[in-house]
């Protein structure tokens, strides 16, 4: 995937900006300096709420040598970028090299990959 299209590039840069802001905020929360009283005054009010979940893109496949999970079928953390031509992907936690082996078709047929 390349960013020759100006809108795709702008969208990617905005996503990066938001992720950097999230990282900064989380760092400040851990340090005990956020949220400030101003942060809370300016925050959107959420009433009658529940905590929900939604799906995010990820990879499902046979990992080989994962530092925590070893070599087995895994579901990755959120997928942020994939370049099928150069055969790599970046998830929330790490890069992956992408290879299609004979098992890929079996995973698709068994419904383990989408």
Q: What is the pLDDT of residues 40-95, one digit of tens each?
A: 999 988 888 787 877 899 998 889 989 899 998 899 989 988 888 888 998 998 99
Give the pLDDT of residue 22: 93
Domain span at 85:
53-114
Give the pLDDT of residue 83: 85
Give the pLDDT of residue 113: 47
Same domain, 83 and 105: yes
Same domain, 38 and 73: no
Average pLDDT score, the chain:
85
pLDDT at 114 over 50: no
- φ/ψ (deg, to 5) at 3: -115, 50
pLDDT at 109 over 70: no
Of 86 and 31, which is predicted with more confidence?
31
Same domain, 91 and 109: yes
How many angstroms separate the CA atoms of 16 and 69, rounded?
A: 28
Same domain, 109 and 83: yes
Among 12, 33, 51, identify where a domain stops: 51
Token representation of residue 98: 């992408």
Token representation of residue 44: 């959107």
Same domain, 46 and 65: no
Query: How confident is residue 19, by pLDDT bands cut at 50, 70 and 90?
Result: very high
Among 51, 68, 91, identify where a domain stops: 51
């Amino acid at each position: 995937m390349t960013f020759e299209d100006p809108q795709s590039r702008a969208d990617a840069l905005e996503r990066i900006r938001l992720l950097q802001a999230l990282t900064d905020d989380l760092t400040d929360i851990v340090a005990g300096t956020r949220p400030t009283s101003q942060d809370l005054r300016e925050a959107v009010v959420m009433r009658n709420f529940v905590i929900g979940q939604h799906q995010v893109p990820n990879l499902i496949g046979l990992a080989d040598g994962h530092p925590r999970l070893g070599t087995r079928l895994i579901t990755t953390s959120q997928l942020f970028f994939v370049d099928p031509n150069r055969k790599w992907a970046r998830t929330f936690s790490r890069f992956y090299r992408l290879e299609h082996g004979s098992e890929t078709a079996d995973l698709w047929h068994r419904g383990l990959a989408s």
